[in-house]
Structure 1
Amino acid sequence: MAPGPPKALKSLHAAIDLVWKDPARKDYALKAVAVHGRALQFLSVDLRADKEVVLKALKNDGWALQWASEELRRDKEAIFKALKKEVRSLQFAAEELLADREFCLEAISKNGLAYEFVDPEIRADREVARAAVGQDGLALEFVPEQFQSDPDVVLRAVQNCGMALRFASPDLRGNKGLVLAAVKQETSALKFASQELQQDRDVWLQACPSRLGHWQSQEEVLQEVEKEGSLLQLANPRLISKPEVMFKASVKDHRSLEHASPELCADVDFLLRLVKQDVRVLTHATDELRADREVALKAVDINGSALEFFTQELCEDKEVVLTAVRRTGTALAFAAPELRADREVVLAAMARSRTALLFASEELRRDKAMWLYNGEEPPVFDPPPEEEAAADVEVAAAVEPSEASRS
């Protein structure tokens, strides 16, 4: 007998393939969105308006809210379920809700960063701003400038998250009381204080009571940056240029490279060593390196997601992109549109991660063969010999006139 369907169709990930058999069947839809919430986009209009299906999709992936029906994008239960998974999904909620003060306050009470997506008039409300930074101090980044200069709003933010000091107005970053409140929460917030306060021995001792002054020895600095890389800025400038110090600091916090010398940010071997630890270090590479094809090939071979940090031209280079997706399938998201529509590239990405198909072109995402048979034509299953013989008899009976009709 002919072989049955591929084993992949029986796996959990094959649930999403059911959508292609019938995008209007609810049982298929529920299985599909349980695996990939974003499969909601491929369902029928009626199922995208079915609350049970949409809630299951949102439980898996908050981004799925954008494909829910208009009615469900006005449904608070659905919106808050999406918000719980992904705060940025709030941007897909109905506009009238984002302009409703009561709704916005409720959303902010669940996640202060929801403040970024509410109507500008609501963001201009001081009490709403205070509520947001009280729930998550980092929401201070999104408040109007007048609130970033408001001592009460900023104090509330840094008491919640010391690092929020970076978003305060320059004059408040020179306010000793606010700076001390921030460093009490997080020692490394001191790097966002004014230069004068960074050199203030009283502030330093209150922020770091176990230390008697700025680090002077390489051994001491290495010990500290292994605990918290972002503290590097507080070290003696002479030591920041040391590759070993910068490497350990950057492993702990890639932003430490902001303080590296231009020579170090242009050192290919140094950066590739760091890519093995945290691919985001490439945000600090020189423009020349991020446009260098050989560097790109080496970086994406270590971590395919490194593709995100190279030039558009390299994201259009098929060899570079293939190397990336063969290492990390979801790196397909950073490929140029024409390569996300290239069957060979997409199949290479899917071989690494089936989820990569979600980043392919719409045409390929809607290609049933891609989902079910990895891009190949559906197999033809030949019937057993006895079935073929029976079929021949039926055909003959249908086409040959009977003796009665001849006469």
Structure 2
Amino acid sequence: MSKRDRLEFIHSNVNHVHDLPAHSTIHIPKNKHLKTTHHSSIHETIIILTDLSSNHHPNTLQQLLQHKFSMQQLGKKKWLLAREKKYDGYIPIEFLNDREMILHHIRKYGYGMEYLRFCSRCDLLLDKQFTLQVVRTNGQQLDHVFEPFKQDTEIVLAAVQQNPNAIFYATGSSRNDPQIVEAVLDRHEELLETYWYTFHINDEMARELAKKNAAAIRFSNWLKKDKDYVLKLVKNQPRAICYACTELKNDFEFLKQVVSCNGHALKYLLVDWTKNLNFECVDRCSKEIFMEAFKHLNNTKNLSIDWTDIKIMKQVVSEWGYALKHASNELKNNYDLVLTAINCSACSLKYASDHLKNDKTLVLQAVKNNHNAMQFASQNLKNSKTFAMQVLKNANACVFQYFSDALKGDRDVAEYAVSRQGQLLEYVSQELKNDFLTVFTAVSQNGRALRDASNNLKQDRNIVRAAVSQNGYALNYASEKLKIDKDLVTFAVLTYPEILRMISLDTLGLDHEFVLQVLCTLLDHSVFHQSFPTLMNHFILGELMHDREFMLRAIRENGRVLGMASCKIRQDQELILEALKNNGFVEKYSKELYQLRMEQCYYGAYLGKI
């Protein structure tokens, strides 16, 4: 008897053999012997095929089957690796309905939902539960969900709880829902302080929200002007005074009542004035106001401040540094007292004696706390190169704006300043604005500093290249000639794709190769912008968008280009298949295209239900 070769197939579910009964007749060649074994479970069937033939020639069908199996295994490995990749600008068709992959991508890289919007018939985009998972992972993805979901209270609330900034992507009534606004106030009060005017909260709703957070009164023009209401809020929320209208914050008789009600309110008010560089109001803050606040904090109506007593004044300026204004001249010259004051409010240096305004250690400490304090230093220190370099190394470089004109024209000082903050080129002397090294240093740190360079250097290709490489928007400040330099345009779009809105091929000449170069450069460098297709449509002349041969070339370079073609070309079956073949890009999901992609790229690997 010839050597027996045995092959066993084990199926976990009888459905895989078309639900054949255990004793079904199966046609087997005469020289094949079939055994079936029965188990108590109807869900398991073992088929044992034994080859009894004496034919030793290779079995072609078996080899093909083995080859197919090997390729499918290879395809599955390739698919698993592709599933872990970072994608910019699109999600390949094979993952468009893979919820775990999309969630993982968003969790790991912070984006991905926006790419689903570019593909119609994507089931995940319409799935509310999936959308909830997405915004709980990254609230800012609310910007890219299905439009009706941006009005869904449950989804918006989940988004702002994860990231308060998501409120800006909410639409309709959800944006002004009290529960949602309250969630934002709890997580990010400063956000609503800055953008309160973009919301539409009625007076009654604002009043209700203000019970927990006084910042809500900014929503109501009436409440923030109501003296009695503001006073009532200040009792428990001293910061409420900062949200009152400007008229009330400038009414010093009213402010006396406020600080009498809650002395802590004065500190918030002084911080608010300092933040807005409103030193005029600080100057107007009288002894009486400090006195009333001091009485409240010490819980007595009979206490007074002795403005000549060092012990009392230390207590006062440690709470309100600006109270130094009312100290005696002798105390304004007291180093320890002034140091206490500037550690509370750096800009209280304004009220120190001239002698202490010239003290390097004291002024350096003040400037470290707040660079704006430099404006109150002595002219001697503002003109000291040694001190200027020390300050620049230890404080916010914006202090440079308060240096003397002589130092603003000093190459060493200016160059060091712009190396830290390029926009400070605005304050350097006219001579240095025409100095190659100074300007090059500035634009390398902040490309937009090119705005303040001399006209001569705006024509310098090396300067402009450094600027647009840092920030493509800087191309707007270049000379007219360099604005249409193709190499510079290519550099610019990499760091600021929006620059394409400001450029058109009619200024550059109809150059197919250049357009292709720009496209490939952007896509190869993974530079993607949500409105990228629109930008390219603005940049590419209509005839190119309709040029089938050109678009075919471009799509073969990168399938994503299909999304920028004309409507007619985007429906061209050959181009659709080229894009699919290139990188799996599709604009419309279909099972047929999905299956074709799996066959082409992953050798028909069977993945089961994903």
TM-score normalised by the shorter chain: which range applies? 0.5 to 0.7
Amino acid at match of 2:496: S
Distance change (3 Å), C-alpha of 1:210 and 1:296: closer
1:322 maps to which residue?
519
- From 478, 482, 492, the equivalent of 1:300 is 492
**1:1-400, aligned counterparts within 5 Å?**
6-7=94-95, 9=98, 10-11=100-101, 12-13=104-105, 16=113, 20-21=122-123, 25-33=127-135, 34-35=137-138, 37-39=140-142, 42-43=145-146, 45=148, 48-51=151-154, 53-58=155-160, 59-60=162-163, 62-71=165-174, 73-75=176-178, 76-80=181-185, 90=196, 92-96=198-202, 100=206, 125-127=246-248, 134-135=271-272, 151-152=280-281, 177=350, 184=367, 187=371, 201-202=379-380, 204-205=382-383, 209-210=387-388, 214-215=406-407, 218-232=411-425, 237-254=430-447, 256-286=449-479, 289-290=482-483, 292=484, 294=486, 297-300=489-492, 303-308=494-499, 311=502, 313=504, 322=519, 325-326=522-523, 327=525, 329-333=527-531, 336=534, 339=537, 374-375=586-587, 377-380=589-592
Measure the CA separation in 2 of the matches of 1:270 and 1:77.
49
Equivalent residues, number: 329
Instruction: Return the structure number with greater helix share.
Output: 1
Identity %: 12
Structure 1 residues 31 and 127, CA gap change in structure 2 (3 angstroms)? same
Quick one: structure 1 residues 78 and 296, their matched pair in 2 at CA, closer, same or farther if it must change by over 3 Å? farther
Q: Kindly indicate whether the alpha-carbon contact (under 8 Å) linking 1:225 and 1:232 is maintained by their aligned counterparts in 2.
A: yes
Q: Deviations over 1:241-275 (max 9, x none)?
A: 21111111333445643442101122232111233
Q: Distance in 2 between matches of 1:83 and 1:244?
A: 42
Aligned residue type for 2:443: S
CA distance in 1, matches of 2:477, 2:275: 23
The 3 A distance-change label for structure 1 pair 50 and 248 is same
The 3-state SS of whatever aligns with 2:456 is helix
Unaligned runs of 5+ in 2: 1-68, 80-92, 107-111, 226-243, 251-265, 286-320, 323-348, 352-356, 358-362, 390-402, 509-514, 565-569, 571-578, 596-610
Aligned partner of 1:171 in structure 2 is none
Q: 1:36 to 1:118 in 2, by over 3 A?
A: same
Compared with structure 1, are the counterparts of its residues 335 and 27 closer, same or farther at alpha carbon in structure 2 (3 Å cutoff)? closer
Alpha-carbon separation, structure 2, partners of 1:188 and 1:251: 25
Change (3 A) 1:320 1:119: farther
CA contact (8 A) 1:250 1:256 kept: yes
| Separation in 2, partners of 1:96, 1:259 | 45
| Shift in alpha-carbon separation, 1:239–1:35, aligned structure 2, 3 A | closer
Equivalent residues of 1:251, 1:274 under 8 A apart: yes
Mapped partners of 2:146, 2:248: distance in 1? 41
Deviations 1:314-343 (A, max 9, x none): 699965873574245433536647828989
Q: RMSD across aligned C-alpha pairs, in angstroms?
A: 6.0
**Contact 1:329-1:349 at 8 Å conserved across structures:** no
Deviations 1:215-242 (A, max 9, x none): 4654454344434545556655433421
Structure 1 unaligned spans of 5+: 141-147, 161-175, 358-363, 383-407
| Alpha-carbon distance in 2 for matches of 1:286, 1:265 | 6
Contact 2:465-2:488 at 8 Å conserved across structures: no
Distance 1:90 1:311, change over 3 A: same
Maintained 8 Å contact 1:41/1:67: no
SS in 2 for 1:330: coil
Over 3 Å counting, the alpha-carbon distance change for 1:248 and 1:288 in structure 2 is same
CA–CA distance in structure 2, aligned partners of residues 332 and 315 of structure 1:
25
After superposition, the C-alpha distances for 1:381-407 in whole angstroms (9 at most, x for unaligned) are: 77xxxxxxxxxxxxxxxxxxxxxxxxx
Is the CA contact 1:282–1:309 (under 8 Å) kept in the aligned structure 2? no
Instruction: Quote how far apart the aligned CAs of 1:70 are.
Output: 0.9
Corresponding residue number in structure 2 for 1:143: none
